[in-house]
Chains A and B, each alone.
Chain A
């Protein structure tokens, strides 16, 4: 009886310790988001009260001032266009390419995947500098199309790099049976393979959208007052007079919330695509 009680106490202590440590870990990873969202609903005085005010009267004034900022909706439209078009191009060109590398008899698939991998590794500033000169010679600096081109350059390697895992997972018999039935390689891909991996294609597309949406360096260099995307807009709340934290946090919240929702949906399939065959599930 005594021993039994001891064991129960021991287990309870362990459990409490577990949840305490877990709370600290969660606090560390969540604090910035909590601060961002709560500050966006605070007025100027509450925002920097120390210790932070946990109870305050929420205000929408920061959001109103963001939406009243000239062109905010225009910048949001830029962000959407600069994320969706490169993603679409990346998927249309990248998925067949990844399929070919994974499943079809190419001469040297290793060299090809090495090429796309190096495109993933190379820092964007390497392409940004020469393309900046080329774009200004053609006279399209400041046009959205320049950002779209650079983002396409990011998206294609991402697709080619993430997708092969999902193709390799498909049973080989499936493809062979269809081939014996006289289907062309293209029909096999389009009618049989593609419907089976459409979940993975969607997850990869969402990952591309998040990457483009969050991108900053390229947008900073190539955009101007009319073509800027939201991450650049956020930095415009840092002025010489000081940083307007209220509107900045409101804008930050608006930018991030959709990406966090997207991220929530793709987390599992993303882990699998990245870790390759090492991850199941």
Chain B
């Protein structure tokens, strides 16, 4: 009986597993081979020329590649901290009884289901220095023009704002759901002991929903590192390479310069580092 149980278990897993191996692991192994070749689709018909570890050496001396690592990290840290902070702030602010709560929640989380390309285009229009509403409001207050996407110092911030707008709702959705599930007892007890509202939030509520916050941050980290759509339609990695993340850079090398060998090397390094770090973190916290 036990054996039969195990064989059913296997039979349930195998189709998904085999499919994933075929379309993920096989290409991944092939990708490792590609990293050791010079492949340029524009020269001699994309023939593979053996290059050993040359692509990896190139990566570590390519200032544009190293810059893309920095941009990715900056974007990740900025977006993650802002989204977590505002996610907690808004959720705890809404954690009370009031009329239309359900509708308010449904409206707030609208951005996370919006097509990222389209929302990127909307924000591009908002940030337009001549006709955009962000620039218009800025000019009303500070009396000079604002061109966030056109300047190297602020373009990444503009992208972080857009990411925050789109994905803070994700945090809010998860945090509000777990706040709803909390038992009232601990909060009541704290109230009886005379804790202030802020103390109740920071000392009672937040510690209790920590696992959810942690989980939400992990998922956000995974997706913030992969961001492509908004960057592609808003800045294309510019101005200069101020907003060129690793993901964007390997796209440019691969599908604008057609240097597939080097592009694969960049995304290989990116994937290995990100996957190992994040999946270890997630496993450690038993969030599987």
Contact = CB atoms under 8 A, between A and B. Distances in A.
Contacts of B122: 32, 35-36, 252
Interface in B1-52: 2, 4-6, 8-10, 12-13, 15-17, 19-20, 23-24, 27-28, 30-31, 34, 39, 46
B64 interface: no
A50 B260 contact: no
B183 to A, nearest CB: 10
Given A130-B34, A274-B219, A185 B5 contact: yes
Contacts of A121: 222, 274-275, 278-279
B116 A216 contact: yes
Given A121-B274, A275-B174, A279-B181, A216 B23 contact: no
A153 B23 contact: yes
B207 to A, nearest CB: 13
A96 B178 contact: no
A280 B174 contact: no
Count class of interface residues, chain B: 35 or more
B180 interface: yes
A245 B132 CA distance: 12
A15 to B, nearest CB: 9
A216 B232 contact: yes
What's the dominant secondary structure at chain B's contact region?
A: helix
Contact of B20 (A18, A26, A153, A268): A153
Count class of interface residues, chain A: 35 or more
Nearest to B106: A264
Interface string A251-281: 0100110011011100110111011101111
A74 interface: no
A28 interface: yes
B126 interface: yes
Contact of B263 (A18, A129, A156): A129
Interface string B237-277: 00000000001001100110000100110011011001100
B116 A118 contact: no
Nearest to A92: B15
A185 B260 contact: no
A123 B2 contact: no
B205 interface: no
B57 to A, nearest CB: 19
B114 A267 contact: no
Contact of B9 (A105, A116, A231, A264): A105
Given A210-B113, A216-B117, A270-B173, A32 B165 contact: yes
What's the dominant secondary structure at chain A's contact region?
A: helix
Nearest to A164: B288
A160 B117 CA distance: 27
B177 A114 contact: no
| Shortest 8 CB-CB contacts between residues of A and residues of B | A263-B113, A280-B181, A104-B9, A100-B12, A185-B8, A97-B16, A271-B177, A96-B12
Interface of B: 2, 4-6, 8-10, 12-13, 15-17, 19-20, 23-24, 27-28, 30-31, 34, 39, 46, 90, 93-94, 98, 104-119, 121-123, 125-126, 131, 133, 136, 165, 168-169, 173-174, 176-178, 180-181, 209, 211-212, 215-216, 219, 222, 225-226, 228-229, 232-233, 247, 250-251, 254-255, 260, 263-264, 267-268, 270-271, 274-275, 278-279, 282-283, 287-288
Interface of A: 18, 21-22, 25-26, 28-33, 35-36, 48, 50-52, 89, 93-94, 96-97, 99-101, 104-107, 110, 112-127, 129-134, 136, 149-150, 152-153, 156-157, 160, 184-186, 189, 210, 213-214, 216-217, 220-221, 230-231, 234-235, 238, 243, 245, 248, 252, 255-256, 259-260, 262-264, 267-268, 270-272, 274-276, 278-281
